[in-house]
Chains A and B, each alone.
Chain A
Amino acid sequence: MSILQTCSSLVYLVSAVCYVMGVHLMRSPKTARQGNGLSAIGMLMAVVTIVINVLIEGKITTMGWGVLLVGGILGIVYGAVKAQKVPMTDVPQLVSLFNAVGGGAAAVIGIFDYLMKGDGASLSIAFSLPVLLDVIIGGITFSGSLIATGKLSGHVSGKPITFPGARLLNILVVIAILGSAVMMIGFTTNVWYVVLGLAMSLCFGLLMTLPIGGADMPVVVSLLNAFTGLAVAFAGFVINNQVLIIAGALVGAAGTILTLQMAEAMNRSVANILAGGFGTGDSDSGSAGADVPVDVKETSADDIGLQLAYAQNVMIVPGYGLAAAQAQHEVAELAKVLTDKGINVNYAIHPVAGRMPGHMNVLLADVNVPYDQMKQLDDANPMFESTDVALVIGANDVTNPLARESGNAISGMPILDVDKAKSVVVIKRSMSTGYAGVQNPLFSLDNTQMFFSDAKKGLQDIVASAKQYLE
């Protein structure tokens, strides 16, 4: 081992320690930001090390520097600008996009080395197997994450997309992937084998993600994130670089655990999510609660303003609809108007409210909602008894009392006990069912009033009305 190799390996080891410590610190809200910073420092050390290595070895051509610098700088600018500018409601699709390119980069490395080292010769399985896994997993996460990005941003329909023969096509694609695997391992290198493997894994990524409903996407993004970690680890085998192996395996394992926890928070199993087809809203699951009467009381913005102005304890229950309508500014404004007049306002936040687990906290923190007003499920539920007005904004399934009963799609899911409040006001665009496709009996309770409106527009009207009564 030369001095350069020794030093590089040691620095890589230190940066790997930074990633592990970083993830460890990110488990607690107090230290999470430091954790991410530590992991970024580790990353910087790894990049500086590889730059020094490339410089000292001196094998790189001018053109090599050219593509590296142009590609690298373009990528850094694009990534950093996107990340700085993205509104907090759109973070999930951006993370998915970053995950797609990570998988893409891993696949590119595999393809490169297969073509470079192979060059017509037959390869040892110790080399071809990691290449194969790298290219296939990288390809799957690349196309799968792009579809997930599209579904989350609305460019691709969020509804599960299925078509006749999809299952057969899936099987054919898997057979083709296996075929390319056999050819890559067992035969002398040929550019078409790896092209076939890549093309088929891209197809597989598409077919895997299309049938899954938009609201399940966060779990899928997390799963694909873990996949990318594995692809990067296999890329590390291919180029014999330990920092890629350690970091990739770390993300692969930690991402898997995170995926399981997210699925659990949504009361779903990962297998169930991947099976797809869930959340059409108008299919069989919708009829399960169809016998619930749909005679509901409607109310107006003016009346809600009045109720709020004369309440003492108000609980705001934000949901997906609030995130989708980007109404977090309006809700914070309403809360401010009320608290300025001495009314107690709190937010009851369900773990999966928003577009991803924990997303609602981020959205509300973004508009300067005080952290102590955000009550998590266990703290919020006892408070509903003494709540005068519970204002449900664009939330549905997470408030559905049917979850306490057995025999429906949301049985057993932890819910917010909104129905225990003295008065419930629901702002919602229509009577349509929530993601689980189950009718919500909360809407027809005696103490519930419905206000059919877009969250943003509705809240603006309510703010105006509440101001009028409070002055």
Chain B
Amino acid sequence: MSEELFTNLAIFVLSLLVGFEVMSKIPATLQTPMMSGANAIHGVVIVGAFVIAAEANSTLFYILAFFGAFFAAVNVAGGYTVTDRMLGMFDRKPKPGDNAGEGDQK
């Protein structure tokens, strides 16, 4: 086993443990936003899309890199935006902030 793989494996296992630890009992109110927030975090795959695009050198690889970049960008941009919108609704009271207009009663 190469040193590189071993380091990565150690990081992987320890990060799993951190994930289990950091997630204690979540109030039901926050379960949907939490899922959406976690979904946004795996949008970090966009870093990988840059890595492959930098190596692409033929049509097939360009096509793959395009889809990688598109998919990852949707994940990361959409994920953070929708999570923020959801959470913004909970602290609307003090300031009728950003998207209050659409919440108004008809």
Contact = CB atoms under 8 A, between A and B. Distances in A.
Give the interface size bracket for B toward A: 35 or more
A457 to B, nearest CB: 15
Contact of B22 (A61, A86, A109, A254): A254
Interface string B40-70: 1111111111111111110011111111111
A226 B42 CA distance: 9
Interface in A322-352: 329, 332-333, 336, 351-352
A72 B73 contact: yes
A188 B69 CA distance: 28
A87 B71 CA distance: 22
Interface stretch (A167-175, A230-238, A280-288, A309-317): A230-238
Interface of A: 15-16, 19-20, 22-24, 26-29, 32-33, 35-37, 39-40, 43, 46-47, 49-51, 53-54, 57, 59-61, 63-68, 70-80, 82-84, 86, 88, 91-92, 94-95, 97-99, 101-102, 104-106, 108-109, 111-113, 115-116, 126, 218, 221-222, 225-226, 228-229, 232-233, 235-237, 239-258, 261-262, 265, 329, 332-333, 336, 351-352, 356-359, 361-362, 365-368, 370-371, 376
Interface in B7-57: 8, 11-13, 15-20, 22-57
Contacts of A16: 15
Contacts of B2: 126
A356 B34 CA distance: 12
A33 B97 CA distance: 14
Q: Is the interface of A mostly helix, strand, loop or mixed?
A: helix
Contacts of B68: 71, 105, 108-109, 112
B41 A73 contact: no
A40 B44 CA distance: 10
A95 B36 contact: yes
A2 to B, nearest CB: 16
Given A29-B29, A258-B31, A106 B45 contact: yes
A68 B72 contact: no
Given A102-B71, A104-B67, A358 B31 contact: yes
A112 B20 contact: no
Given A240-B8, A358-B29, A246 B15 contact: yes
Contacts of A53: 50
A362 B11 CA distance: 36
5 contacts: A33-B88, A53-B50, A70-B66, A226-B38, A361-B90
B79 A358 contact: no
A55 to B, nearest CB: 10
A21 to B, nearest CB: 9
B32 A79 contact: no
A361 B29 contact: yes
Contacts of A29: 27, 29-30, 90
Interface in B73-106: 73-93, 99, 103-106
A79 B76 contact: yes
A44 to B, nearest CB: 10
B34 A258 contact: yes
B39 A95 contact: yes
B93 to A, nearest CB: 7
Given A40-B40, A242-B8, A253 B15 contact: yes
Contacts of A73: 73
B102 to A, nearest CB: 8
Interface of B: 1-2, 4-5, 8, 11-13, 15-20, 22-57, 60-93, 99, 103-106
A246 B75 contact: no
B42 A79 contact: no
A236 B8 contact: yes
Contacts of A126: 1-2, 5
Contacts of B99: 84
A71 B67 contact: yes
B31 A356 contact: yes
Contacts of B72: 72, 75, 101-102, 105
Given A84-B85, A109-B52, A366-B103, A35 B42 contact: no
A106 B39 contact: no
A13 B35 CA distance: 23
Contacts of A228: 39, 42
B85 A365 contact: no
Given A98-B78, A102-B39, 12 more contacts: A20-B18, A36-B80, A67-B53, A99-B39, A101-B74, A105-B45, A105-B68, A112-B61, A258-B35, A265-B31, A362-B89, A367-B103
B49 to A, nearest CB: 6
Given A57-B54, A112-B68, A329-B105, A79 B78 contact: yes
B47 A36 contact: no
9 A-B pairs closest in CB distance: A253-B19, A75-B73, A79-B78, A71-B69, A351-B28, A249-B15, A83-B81, A105-B71, A79-B77
Contacts of B56: 60-61, 63-64, 67, 112
Contact of B48 (A91, A106, A115, A371): A106
A8 B102 CA distance: 41
Contacts of A245: 8, 11-12, 15
